[in-house]
Structure 1
Amino acid sequence: MENDLKLKLEQLHQRVDALKDQINTEEATKNAFVMPFIQAIGYDIFNPTEVIPEYICDIGTKKGEKIDYVIKKDGEPVLIIECKHWKENADAHNSQLHRYYHVSKSRFGVLTNGLVYNFYADLERPNIMDDKPFFTLELANLKDASIKILEKFTKQGYNLTGILDSAEDLKYIKAIRNEFEKELKDPSDELVKLLVGRFFEKSLTAARLTSFKEYTRRALSNSINESINLRLKSALNINEKNPSKSDQPEVTPVDNNTEGPKYITTAEEVEGSQIIKAILREVIPAGRIAFRDTQSYFGILLDDNNRKPLARLHFNFSKKYLELFHNGKDNGEKKLLDSLDDIYQYRKALLDTVDNYQKNGEKEQLNTAS
């Protein structure tokens, strides 16, 4: 179920990416993006008792107020959805949804622009929609954890109790993470005083506080990036006592005079490189397979030689590509990957690249000998 839903959402994202520049109205956004999303989570968009567009929801003296969509399961509303044009911010217009929420009898409201879906509940006060979403799904940044949560909203997997049990956790974990990321970028006076006060006994003057804010920012950045490096080494099974240069991906160290590294090696790049390494080990020893991360791509090289690229992983954007090489550095051909498993489809091309380098090497030796 999870893989099926992920595939549908990835296909929807490709559709959104291809069509969005031609979508000029909110109504077109609903028809082109939001209705396919509702269909992807299992509801019959052609059944007016299950997916009800323009649902009339009278609010006090206001008559004829309408919600863009109400989704029902077993005759009961499970979701109300308010849509905006895809160019609008999906965080900025929840007042209308807030008004509809308490009279809709649904426990969950969704505000979307077709690219981002914000899910709201009433965790703070019963029957009053919270100001902030407890869950956000971005089509351009699909994560397995997000898809597992979305599964609970599908027609087949709808689980009110399960959603409510995890909604509060999601809400506050998200809030704490947001605050933490703010502190990483620009440590607050409160955090600096808390940390520094544990080892610095003198009073903090304004000048000292400014200095310690910079020290704190650097320390947090160093700590996180060192942790990432250790996890990468563990994932790549590097022998810490005698690490092999050819097995170790290069990760830019933190420069204490800058905002931090321009790039870091991601878990997906590590996994993708290991798949390629496993394929290539059929014909060459592991010691000849080297990794290099750059700002633009993650490279796999033969003999740690820039002139002998075996493949490149372009994973820095919403769409992921594997770049293959047939006759050297300047002949790269990019292949779209729907998942990392797709790399196995290009096993022959990867092995052929090694074979070409070996043949060229033999020719060079013959020419030298003659």
Structure 2
Amino acid sequence: MTDLRNTIAHILEHKQHLADVNEATIQQYVILPILRTLGWNDTNLASMEIIPEYQVENRRADYALHIKQDQNPVVLIECKRWDQPIGKNEEQICFYAYSGNVPLAIITNGKLWRFYLSWWKASSLSERIFCETNIENREEAISNLEKYLLKSNVASGEAELNAEIVLEEKAVVD
């Protein structure tokens, strides 16, 4: 996907400006451009596909992605600062997704994207991780972002099905 390739290239060209900025800046200049390129619309009030500060019980996820406004979100995203390790907040986003009946959860600092299947029966959160990708590895990141976060793949259920296949294969190997 040329647009995603260009979006990631632009972000990486300017990554030196991202090291000292807050989460809101990462959301504005990294996360939203990637989501838009993947087909998610944040400008149409009628569809409200991208909801910032989405409330789950008495907490908030940074973003909820909706296919249909009157249904549960299909993806929750928790954003961190560019150089912040993302592992320490995985319980938070997985709890939000599981309790909100949202199948896919992502935690990202803009550079590293970690994907979880919230409903997967596992003894640890790490066993719910089906993909981890770094945008500095552009081709792999493009492939993974398209496979698991492209709006048409999420809407069709293909992203969730692919995640389930990955986790089933991991369970057999382990």
Verify same fold: TM over 0.5: yes
The answer to whether the aligner puts 1:57 opposite 2:53 as a matched pair is no
Q: Measure the CA separation in 1 of the matches of 2:19 and 2:146.
A: 29
Q: Is the 8 A contact 2:4 2:37 kept in 1?
A: yes
1:73 maps to amino acid: I
Q: Deviations over 1:23-49 (max 9, x none)?
A: 1x2222222222222222121223451
Do the aligned residues in 1 keep the contact of 2:103 with 2:119 (CA within 8 Å)?
no
Q: Match of 2:18?
A: 20
Q: CA deviation at 1:104?
A: 2.3
Which of 142, 147, 151 is the equivalent residue of 1:147? 142
Residue equivalent to 1:72: 66
Q: Secondary structure at the match of 2:151?
A: coil
Q: Please give the alpha-carbon distance, in whole angstroms, between the structure 2 residues aligned to 1:26 and 1:116.
A: 14
* Greater mean deviation of Cα atoms: 162-171 or 96-105: 162-171
SS at match of 1:74: coil
CA distance in 2, matches of 1:171, 1:125: 10
Q: CA RMSD in A?
A: 3.0
Matches within 5 A, 1:309-320: none
- TM-superposed deviation, 1:57: 1.3
Equivalent residue in structure 2 for 1:109, among 91, 100, 105: 105
Distance 1:167 1:142, change over 3 A: same
The aligned counterpart of 1:275 is none
Counterpart Cα distance in 1 of 2:50 and 2:75: 10
Over 3 Å counting, the alpha-carbon distance change for 1:156 and 1:40 in structure 2 is same
User: Which residues of structure 1 form unaligned runs of 5+?
Assistant: 180-370
Note closer, same or farther for the CA distance 1:148–1:115 as it changes in structure 2 (3 Å cut).
closer
Aligned residues: 168
Equivalent position to 2:116, from 113, 117, 120 = 120
In terms of Rg, which structure is larger?
Answer: 1
Superposed displacement of residue 175, structure 1: 8.9
Aligned equivalents of 2:26 and 2:62: distance in 1? Answer: 12
- 1:96-142: per-residue Cα shift (whole Å, max 9, x none)? 1122012323210000111111111036329x994342111211112
Contact 1:101 1:129 in 2 (8 A): no
